[in-house]
Amino acid sequence: MKDLLIIGGGTGGIMTAAQFLKKGGVNVTILEPAEYHYYQPAWTLVGANAYDFEKTKRTMASVMPKGVNWIKEFASSFDCANNSVITSSGKTLKYDYLVVSPGIKIDTSLVKGLTEAIDKGVVCSNYTNPKHTWEVLKNFEGGTALFTQPATPIKCGGAPQKIMYLAEEYFKKSGVRKNTNVVFATPGGVIFGVKPIAKTLIEVINRKDINVRYHHKLVEVDAENQIAWYEITKDPKAGGCVLMEDKDNSSMEIDESINYNNKNIVVSKENGRWGIHFDMLHLAPPQTAPDFIKNSDLANEAGWLDVDHGTLQHKKYDNVFGLGDAAALPTAKTGAAIRKQVPIVVENIARLIAANPLSSKTYNGYSSCPLVTGYGKMVLAEFDYDSNFTPDPKLKQMLVFDSSKEHRRLWWLKKYILPRLYWNKMLKGVEV
C-alpha cells in the first residue's frame, strides 16, 4: 500500500485526504499543527457584522477525515530526493507521494510599521482579525476611510473591496457617510481583471462615490500620525498630468488612470512618496509562500511552489503535487480554485499509483470571487487563466442569469449556501 503525505490541513489538504480515503488503498497522513479550522470566506461578512465569527470556526479534529493519520506538527524542510519531509520536532516522514498545500503566510514585515499597527486602534484587517474590523467600523465618526491592498499576491484578491462596499453602506446607516470620503488604493491599474465584472464594479464605485487610487504601492503605515505611505508605480509625467492635487498644485489636472473620482482628502508628499491621511484604515497585509517552501528546491524564483499549471505536478519531482495558495498558479487564490484543483491532483496520483500516464484532464485556472457589493447584494466573478468570464450554468437554477450583475440571490449563496457546501460536502470529499 502506498503512503500519501499531505502538508496542510486547510481546504486543499482536507479535501485531498477525504477524496483519497473514499478511493481506498492508500495510507493518508496529514501534517498540520493547528487546533482549529476556519471558513475564512465568511470573514468579510464578520467584519461588517453580517456573520457570526464562531460559526466560521471548528476544531481541526472534527474536520479530519476518518482514517487519516494526523500528525500535529509543522513541516520544517524537504528532502525530496529521498522522499522525505522533516517536521518541526526533527522527525523524518517518508512518503511515496507528496501533496503540498500549506496555505499562505501573512508577512506584515514587508510594509514598514505594519507589524506594530495592524489590529490596533483604527487600523484593521479582515485577514487577521475581522472582529476588530467591526469595532473600527462601529466607532468610526467620519473623515477618510481608506481601504488598501499590497503589491504581493493575496488570498481572495477581491476581499479588500468587499469590506469597503459593506462599510460604505454601514456608514450611511450610522449617519456618518455625509462626513466621510471612502478611498480605495490599489497597486493595480484596473478595479478587477475580468471585464464584465470590472464594468459592474465601476458602476458600484460611481454609485457609492468612492475615490479609487490606482498604481499605489503601500510601503509604510504610520499609525501614530495616521498616514499610509505609497510609491506610485506609474509615471504621471508620461500622461502629462499630475496624479493628485496637493496644497501647492491645487489647480492642476488629475490623471484619472491614477486617481479616479478624485476627492478632497489630505495628502502629503515626502521623498517621492505620497501619504494618504486616514481616520480608519482597512488593509490586506502582504502575503508570501511559507518560509519552508521559499527556502526549498520546490520553489520557483519568486518563492512559490513550482508546479505545472495544468497537471499540478511539481516540475522537478514527479511524485510531488501542489495546490492552493502556495502554488505558483497565475489565477486568484481562493477556495473555489482549490475545489477544482483537488480532483486533478487526486486523479493524477491515482493514475501514477496504477502505473498509468497522467490524466488528459487539466486544471484550466478556474477561480471564483464572490464580490459582495453591499448588504444583500453580490456579484460572482468566475474566471480561468485567461480571465475569461465563466459563470456556472447551475446558477440558472437560482434564477441568476447574469452573475456579473448584482443579485440578492447571490448574497444568499454567499451567506447561507456556500458555508453549508463547504462543511458538509467539500470537506467530506464530495465534488461540488
| Residues annotated as part of the active site | 156, 369
Question: Cα angle vertex 59, ends 53, 64, to 5°?
Answer: 130
Alpha-carbon gap, residue 237 to 255, rounded angstroms: 10
Non-local (6+) Cβ contacts of 299 within 8 A are 289, 293, 305, 306
Non-local (6+) Cβ contacts of 361 within 8 A are 344, 347
| Whole-Å CA distances, 423 to 65, 128, 394 | 12, 21, 20
Non-local (6+) Cβ contacts of 309 within 8 A are 329, 330, 363, 365, 385
> What is the distance, to the nearest Å, from the Cα of residue 125 to the centroid of all Cα atoms in its chain?
12
Residue 259: φ, ψ to 5°: -130, 95
C-alpha cell at 221: 503605515
Question: Cα angle vertex 183, ends 182, 188, to 5°?
Answer: 150
Alpha-carbon gap, residue 125 to 159, rounded angstroms: 10
Alpha-carbon gap, residue 262 to 282, rounded angstroms: 19
Alpha-carbon gap, residue 237 to 241, rounded angstroms: 6
Is 58 in a helix, a strand, or coil?
Answer: strand
Residue 51: φ, ψ to 5°: -160, 145
Alpha-carbon gap, residue 388 to 384, rounded angstroms: 6
